[in-house]
Amino acid sequence: MNHEPVELSVNIGGIQLKNPVMTASGTFGYGEEYAPYVGLDKLGAIVVKGISLEPRPGNPPPRIVETTGGMLNSIGLENIGVDRFIGEKLPYLIDSGATIIVNIFGSSIEEYRDVANKLDDTHGISGLEINISCPNVKEGGMTFGTDPHMAFELVNLIRESTKLPLIVKLSPNVTDITEITRSVQDAGADAISLINTIKGMAIDIKTKTPKLANITGGLSGPAIKPIALGMVWEVARVAEIPVIGIGGIMNAHDALEFIIAGASAIQVGTANFINPKATMDILSGIEKYLGDHGIGDIKSLIGTLRI
Amino acid sequence: MYQVFSKILFNTEVSPTYYKMGLDCPEIASRAAPGQFIMVRVSNQWDPFLRRPFVIHRTGKANTKGEKRCSDCQLEILYKVVGKGTEIMSEMKEDDEIDLLGPMGKGYRIDTNIRTAILVGGGIGVASLFSLAENIILQCSGLKSLLLFLGGKGRDDVLCVEEFEKLSLEVRVATEDGSLGQQGVVVDLLLDYLKFGDYSPGSSTHCFACGPDTMLREVSKITGEKSISCQISLEARMACAVGACLGCIVKTKAGGDVYKKVCKDGPVFDSNDIIWK
């Protein structure tokens, strides 16, 4: 079936994306790893692997375990640090023509601010995603994402120290995700992304030991999609800023569910590991759906859930 | 690296629980080097979820002594049924299509000055050594001696002996239950061989090993003490195989503040670089 061209661009808190398909932090490396499979400039945006002030070795192996319909990871935010990222990884990404969003984290509020500051002065970055939701590190990470007051304080400080648009990535490991949503929105977040992985574990019954060296890890993949979708819908109802849906999106059907639930864009995570071209397949699937349903602009599909 | 849907040419049980699968995939086969691997998607469903890594056993490129088992567009993997994924694979039939990524990783580096090459394989670790042996024969014109030490729990775990002998390798075998070859582990064979001889740097003796971590650790120690250059092929749990998920890491002396990735920096490493637990 031939269709009229459809409008796929969306604006996420001041970041203009050519389409709503982004990559999720930690699942697409620094971009170049997937360049043989994906035209990086074809993506809505690349969200780079989480960056801290200093390099971090991450957790010891084993770090990943396959589970039913998903995987557990306990990478522990391994990264090369902000200075090496700017020097070694960013030039390639800029040359690729990708829209670049950098995921940042720290073990203290001040460290988050310092990373944001360094990136604020750096050419080529469209926005920051603040990770307050990693379940695999002892300090920082999820502790900021489960306490509305700490989340407010953190986002507020970063807001004062950078002009870049701020996306705050939320944890599902909370009682009421809308409470954190309101906190970070009040603190000046420009957009919200959710969900990060869900804390879980796996046990080897032969040895009676945990399968991950870190004992627990973050669950991702299709196994978490219904949880993510429910939370995106809840958050989108209360948020006054754009919401980015993440969690077990494997194909265009999954992505469309999130958009209908209220997500203005989506991030593809674990699916990249299974199908390195997953983002491109999802993009073409969304385009086909819009064409087939006579929808000329993706924006008119966002939050159209009928109840 | 390529993602291709490949036709299965054959999928044969070569020993109880061990299978050899032939794949028609010219993009990967024509570019594959010894020690590199492919990622196989064993199901179109989400369970099993992740792809499985398999080292490339041989390709049609290497063609020694006039023998030509498969064409330039084909490659073979050798695998052991250990879980749900490999069980599904073992039931696949000729002409079925299978989703592959490859060739992945950095394989063995072959120094063309090698005069003596010692290949050490434990169990299914033998899979990566066949293509290596073929390429050593092709590339090392001054090669004097090519030895293969194979080990397994029992005779069913010792694979491909005849195929290696056809390449004129000297094959020695050890099994833990004594059902084939010498009773013991493969490391015993290496120790016996290295009792005599000069292995100082410059003797152009190189060792290559693939097998369980315990075996690789021993081989690394032994060759390290004799100052013999040794490359080992590591196995690790991995999700992406392109260096993005950071699941398959190993501590190396050159790793600095971050681990090395088995999928991208390896799977083959110089044994001296590894920091064993």
Is the distance from CB of A215 to CB of A201 less than 8 angstroms?
A: yes
Query: What are the phi and psi torsion angles at B131 (to 5°)?
Result: -65, -35
pLDDT attached to residue B68: 44
Q: What is the residue-averaged pLDDT of chain A? A: 94
Which of A64, A80, A250 has the CB atom closest to B239's CB atom? A64
Q: Which residues of A touch B105 (CB under 8 A)?
A: none
Which residues on chain B place their C-beta less than 8 Å from a C-beta of chain A?
1, 3, 41, 46-51, 101, 236-240, 242-250, 256-259, 264
Q: What is the residue-averaged pLDDT of chain B? A: 92
Report the C-alpha gap between A279 and B99 in whole angstroms: 17
CB contact under 8 A, A34 and B242: yes
- C-alpha distances out from residue A172 to A89, A128, A143, B122, Å: 30, 20, 12, 44
- C-alpha distances out from residue A220 to A69, A73, A243, B164, Å: 9, 8, 19, 44
Q: What is the CA radius of gyration of chain B?
A: 18
pLDDT per residue as tens digits for the range A234-256: 999 999 999 999 999 999 999 99
Say which of A47, A134, A168, A256 is annotated catalytic: A134
Which distant-in-sequence residues (6+ apart) come within 8 Å of A235 by Cβ?
A: A170, A177, A178, A181, A192, A194, A243, A262
- For residue A184, pLDDT over 50 is answered with yes
Whole-complex ipTM: 0.93
pLDDT attached to residue A145: 79
**What mean pLDDT comes out for the span A143-148?**
82
**Widest pairwise Cα distance in chain B:** 55
- For residue A226, pLDDT over 80 is answered with yes
Which one, of B238, B244, B229, B227, lies nearest residue B262 by Cα? Answer: B238
Query: How many CB atoms are closer than 10 A to CB A156?
Result: 17
pLDDT attached to residue B71: 61
Which of A26, A36, A68 has the CB atom closest to B47's CB atom? A68
CB contact under 8 A, A63 and B243: no
Q: Distance from B93 to chain A by nearest Cα, in Å? A: 22
- For residue B63, pLDDT over 60 is answered with no
pTM: 0.94
pLDDT per residue as tens digits for the range B28-47: 999 999 999 999 999 999 99
Query: What are the phi and psi torsion angles at A233 (to 5°)?
Result: -60, -45
Q: Over pLDDT 70: what percentage of chain B?
A: 92
CB contact under 8 A, B41 and A274: yes
Candidates A34, A48, A63, A279: best to mutate against B (most CBs of B within 10 A) is A63
CB contact under 8 A, A75 and B247: yes
Which one, of B217, B198, B38, B233, lies nearest residue B119 by Cα? Answer: B233
pLDDT-derived band of residue A144, with 50, 70 and 90 as boundaries? confident
**A134 carries an active-site annotation:** yes
Helix (H, G, I), strand (E, B) or coil at B91: coil
Is the distance from CB of A216 to CB of A273 less than 8 angstroms?
A: no
Report the C-alpha gap between A264 and A255 in whole angstroms: 10
